[in-house]
C-alpha cells in the first residue's frame, strides 16, 4: 500500500511538472508580448531624434504595432483552429524574431513601422494562443494559476525591457560630466536604440526553439479527430488513465453536442451572452486606464513628482516592480479566492488609486501621495484586471467556438488599447482638463470606468474556479 501511494504521488508530481514545463514555455509568448510593447518606451526617446520625426510621425512609430496586434488577434482565431495552437505560437515566435532584427536595422521611418507592425502581428497571435493553450492543458483546480503565469510573463517582459533600456541607454548618469553625458546621448541616438530592439532577439529565438518540444493541445487534436494523439497527451498531464479517458469523453461529448450547427454556434442559446461577457471584460480592462499609465508613466511621474526628463528610463522601474510583485499575489490567490472576488477587490483598489491621484492633481497637492496612488492603481490592476481577465477569456468559451470567440474578444481588447493610447494625450492636453480640472480629468474618467467594472463583475460575471472547460458550458445554457 505504501509503495502504491508513493508511486501515485510520484506520478502526480511528474504530471504537474510536465504541465508546468509546457506552461512556462508557452508563457514566454507573454514575456515577448511585454518586451515587444515595452521596448518602444525607451527606444523612441532616441530614434525620434535619429530620424528627425515630427510629433505625428513619432506617434505613428510608437502606435503602429498596436494595429498589427489587432490584425494578429483576428487572424489567431482562424489559425489556432486550422493549423493548431502550437503552430500559431511558432509563427508568432518567428514574427517576434523578424521584428526585433528588422526594427534594429531600420534605415527609415517606413521600414521601422513595417517591422513594428510585424512584431504587433506576433503579439496579437501570442496574446490569444498562449493563454488558450495553457487553459487547455491545465487541470481545473490549477487552471487559474497556470494561465496567470502568462500575465506574470507579460509583466516580467515589461520589467526586463525597462531594465534593458535603462542599462543600454546609460540611464544612471550620476557622477558623469556634461561631456560624457553628451557622448552617451549621441551614442544612443546613433546606435543605442538599435541595440534596444536587438536585445529582444535572445528571448525570441529561445521561444521559437523551445516551442518545438511542447505537444499539441489535446482539445485541438480532438477537434481534428485525432483521438489517440489527444489521449497520449492527456496521459502526460493527468493523474491517471481513468482521468485521461474521462477528459476525452467530456471533450468528445462537448464537440459532438455542437455538430450539425457549427455555423450558428456563436448565435446559439447562451453563446451571445458569453461573447458579450468576454468583449465587455476586454473593454473594461483597457478603459480603466492601465496602458495610459504604462505608456505615459514617465510623463505622469514627471508631472506628479517634479522629476526631470533625464530620469524617464529610471521611473519606469517603479511601475514594473509593483506590477511584478502583485502579479505574484494574483497567481497564488486566483484559484483559492476565485476570479470574482479578485476582480471586485482589485477594481475597487484601482478606483481608489486613480481617485486619489486625480484629487492631488485637482487640488495641486502633488507629491508622495500621488506616487503612492499610482502604485496602488498598478498593484490593484496586477492583482485583478491584468491576470484574471486573461484567465476568464481562456476558459469561458465552449470548445467549438473558443478560437473564434476568443479571437474577437482579444481583438476588441487591442482596439481599445489603441483608442486609449491615442485619446489619452488629447484629453490630457485639452483646455477643459488643464483649465477646469488642473490635469485630473483623465484619471477621474478612468476611476469612473473602474466603478462601472465593479458593478458589471458583481452583477454579471459568474465564478468559474474549479470547473472543467466542458462544465463551463452549462453556465451559459440558461442565459
DSSP-assigned letter for residue 108: S
Whole-number mean pLDDT of the chain? 84
Q: Given a cut of 90, is residue 281 above it in pLDDT?
A: yes
pLDDT at residue 2, rounded to an integer:
41
Q: Given a cut of 80, is residue 340 above it in pLDDT?
A: yes
Short-list 239, 223, 53, CA closest to 136: 223
| Extended beta strands in 33-130, E state | none
Three-state DSSP at 217 gives coil
pLDDT at residue 99, rounded to an integer:
96
pLDDT at residue 261, rounded to an integer:
45
**DSSP secondary structure string, 395-431?**
HSS-GGGHHHHHHHHHHHHHHHHHHHHHHHHHHHTSH
pLDDT at residue 133, rounded to an integer:
92
Instruction: Give backbone dihedrals phi and psi of 476, rounded to 5 degrees, phi first.
Output: -100, -5
Residue of 259 and 283 predicted with greater confidence: 283
pLDDT at residue 90, rounded to an integer:
97
Q: What's the rounded Cα separation, in Å, for the pair 9 and 185?
A: 58
Residue of 120 and 19 predicted with greater confidence: 120
pLDDT at residue 309, rounded to an integer:
44
- Sign (positive or negative) of CA dihedral 421, 424, 429, 431: positive
DSSP-assigned letter for residue 84: -
Q: What's the rounded Cα separation, in Å, for the pair 135 and 144?
A: 8
Q: Given a cut of 90, is residue 323 above it in pLDDT?
A: no
pLDDT at residue 306, rounded to an integer:
57
Residue of 470 and 74 predicted with greater confidence: 74
pLDDT in tens, 343-384: 999 999 999 999 999 999 899 888 788 888 989 999 999 999
pLDDT in tens, 29-43: 999 988 987 788 778
Cβ neighbours for 307, distance < 8 A, ≥ 6 positions apart? 301, 315
Q: Given a cut of 70, is residue 316 above it in pLDDT?
A: no
Q: How confident is the model at residue 263 (pLDDT cuts 50, 70, 90)?
A: very low
The predicted model gives 251-258 an average pLDDT of 75
Three-state DSSP at 176 gives coil
Give residue for cell 552617451: 184
Structural domains of the chain, with CATH: 1-214 (1.20.1250.20), 261-479 (1.20.1250.20)
User: Cβ(32)–Cβ(72) under 8 Å?
Assistant: no
Q: What's the rounded Cα separation, in Å, for the pair 411 and 71?
A: 7
The predicted model gives 265-269 an average pLDDT of 59
pLDDT at residue 227, rounded to an integer:
92
pLDDT at residue 308, rounded to an integer:
47
Q: Provide the grid cell at 39.
A: 521596448
pLDDT at residue 11, rounded to an integer:
55
pLDDT in tens, 282-312: 999 999 998 888 766 655 665 555 554 445 5
pLDDT in tens, 84-119: 999 999 999 999 999 999 999 999 999 999 999 999
Q: How confident is the model at residue 160 (pLDDT cuts 50, 70, 90)?
A: confident
The predicted model gives 60-73 an average pLDDT of 87
User: Cβ(400)–Cβ(254) under 8 Å?
Assistant: yes
Q: Given a cut of 90, is residue 273 above it in pLDDT?
A: no
Largest distance between two CA atoms of the chain: 77
Q: Could you give the percent of the chain with pLDDT greater than 70?
A: 86
Number of helices followed by number of strands (H, E) in the chain: 22, 0
The predicted model gives 173-177 an average pLDDT of 64
Amino acid at each position: 500500500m505504501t509503495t502504491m501511494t508513493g508511486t501515485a504521488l510520484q506520478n502526480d508530481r511528474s504530471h504537474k511538472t510536465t504541465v508546468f514545463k509546457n506552461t512556462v514555455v508557452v508563457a514566454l509568448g507573454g514575456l515577448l508580448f511585454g518586451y515587444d510593447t515595452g521596448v518602444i518606451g525607451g527606444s523612441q526617446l532616441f530614434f525620434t531624434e535619429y530620424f528627425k520625426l515630427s510629433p505625428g510621425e513619432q506617434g505613428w512609430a510608437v502606435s503602429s504595432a498596436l494595429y498589427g496586434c489587432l490584425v494578429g488577434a483576428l487572424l489567431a482565431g482562424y489559425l489556432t483552429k486550422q493549423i493548431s495552437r502550437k503552430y500559431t505560437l511558432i509563427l508568432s515566435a518567428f514574427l517576434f524574431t523578424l521584428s526585433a532584427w528588422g526594427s534594429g536595422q531600420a534605415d527609415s521611418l517606413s521600414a521601422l513601422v513595417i517591422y513594428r507592425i510585424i512584431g504587433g502581428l506576433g503579439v496579437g497571435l501570442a496574446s490569444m494562443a498562449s493563454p488558450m493553450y495553457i487553459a487547455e492543458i491545465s487541470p481545473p483546480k490549477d487552471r487559474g494559476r497556470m494561465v496567470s503565469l502568462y500575465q506574470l510573463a507579460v509583466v516580467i517582459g515589461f520589467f526586463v525591457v525597462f531594465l534593458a533600456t535603462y542599462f543600454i541607454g546609460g540611464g544612471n548618469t550620476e557622477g558623469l560630466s556634461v561631456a560624457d553625458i553628451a557622448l552617451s546621448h549621441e551614442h544612443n541616438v546613433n546606435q543605442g536604440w538599435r541595440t534596444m530592439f536587438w536585445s529582444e532577439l535572445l528571448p525570441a529565438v529561445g521561444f521559437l526553439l523551445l516551442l518545438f518540444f511542447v505537444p499539441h493541445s489535446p482539445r485541438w487534436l480532438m477537434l481534428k479527430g485525432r483521438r489517440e494523439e489527444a489521449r497520449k497527451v492527456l496521459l502526460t498531464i493527468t493523474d491517471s488513465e481513468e482521468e485521461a479517458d474521462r477528459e476525452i469523453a467530456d471533450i468528445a461529448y462537448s464537440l459532438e453536442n455542437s455538430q450539425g450547427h457549427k455555423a450558428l454556434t456563436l448565435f446559439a442559446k447562451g453563446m451571445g451572452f458569453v461573447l458579450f461577457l468576454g468583449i465587455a471584460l476586454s473593454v473594461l480592462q483597457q478603459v480603466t486606464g492601465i496602458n495610459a499609465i504604462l505608456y505615459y508613466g514617465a510623463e505622469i511621474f514627471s508631472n506628479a513628482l517634479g522629476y526631470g526628463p533625464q530620469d524617464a528610463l529610471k521611473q519606469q522601474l517603479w511601475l514594473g516592480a509593483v506590477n511584478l510583485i502583485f502579479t505574484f499575489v494574483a497567481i497564488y490567490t486566483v484559484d483559492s479566492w476565485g476570479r470574482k472576488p479578485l476582480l471586485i477587490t482589485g477594481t475597487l483598489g484601482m478606483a481608489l488609486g486613480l481617485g486619489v491621484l486625480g484629487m492631488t492633481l485637482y487640488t495641486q497637492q502633488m507629491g508622495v501621495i500621488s506616487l503612492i496612488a499610482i502604485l496602488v492603481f498598478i498593484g490593484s490592476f496586477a492583482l485583478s484586471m491584468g491576470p484574471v481577465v486573461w484567465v476568464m477569456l481562456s476558459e469561458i468559451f465552449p470548445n467549438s467556438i473558443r478560437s473564434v470567440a476568443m479571437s474577437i474578444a482579444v481583438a476588441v481588447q487591442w482596439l481599445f488599447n489603441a483608442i486609449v493610447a491615442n485619446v489619452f494625450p488629447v484629453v490630457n492636453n485639452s483646455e477643459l482638463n488643464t483649465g477646469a480640472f488642473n490635469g485630473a480629468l483623465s484619471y477621474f474618467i478612468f476611476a469612473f470606468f473602474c466603478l462601472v467594472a465593479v458593478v458589471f463583475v458583481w452583477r454579471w460575471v459568474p465564478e468559474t474556479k474549479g470547473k472543467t472547460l466542458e462544465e463551463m458550458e452549462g453556465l451559459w445554457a440558461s442565459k
